[in-house]
Amino acid sequence: MLSEAVEKINNNIKCLKYEVKSIKKFNADVSQISLIQSQIQQLRHLISDCDTEKLPLTQSSQFIKCLKHEVKLLKEQYHYIPTFIKDIQHLKHRIHKLNKKVFYSKQSDENDLDYSIIQYDPSTDKRIQSLENSIHQILSRLNNNLPNVQQVFVDLPRTRGVNLVFRGMPVHPNCS
- Per-residue pLDDT of 69-97, as tens digits, reads 777 776 666 666 566 666 666 666 666 66
Average pLDDT of span 89-117: 58
Single-letter amino acid code for the residue at 131: L
Average pLDDT of span 19-38: 66
What does the pLDDT read at residue 173?
43
Average pLDDT of span 153-172: 36
Query: What 3-state class would DSSP assign to 59?
Result: helix
pLDDT band for 117, please (50, 70, 90 cuts).
very low
31-45, 88-102, 113-127: range with lowest mean pLDDT: 113-127
Please identify, in words, the CATH class of the domain defined by 2-79. Answer: mainly alpha
Residue 102 above 70 pLDDT?
no
Q: How many CA atoms lie within 13 A of 109 on its CB side?
A: 10
Residue 19 above 50 pLDDT?
yes
In degrees and rounded to multiples of 5, residue 28 shows phi and psi of -70, 170
28-32, 139-143, 153-157: range with lowest mean pLDDT: 153-157
Name the residue among 17, 35, 146 with its Cα closest to residue 82: 146
13-17, 31-35, 74-78, 158-162: range with lowest mean pLDDT: 158-162
User: CA distances (Å), 77 to each of 26, 53, 108, 170, in order?
Assistant: 10, 39, 48, 12
Residue 143 above 70 pLDDT?
no
Residue 166 above 70 pLDDT?
no
Number of Cβ within a 10 Å radius of residue 14? 12
pTM metric for this prediction: 0.36
Long-range contacts, 88-97 (Cβ 8 Å, 24+): 88/135, 88/138, 88/139, 88/162, 89/162, 91/131, 91/134, 91/135, 91/138, 92/135, 92/157, 92/162, 94/131, 95/128, 95/131, 95/132, 95/135, 95/156, 95/157, 96/157
Helix (H) or strand (E) holding 166: strand 162-166
Name the residue among 72, 68, 79 with its Cα closest to residue 43: 68
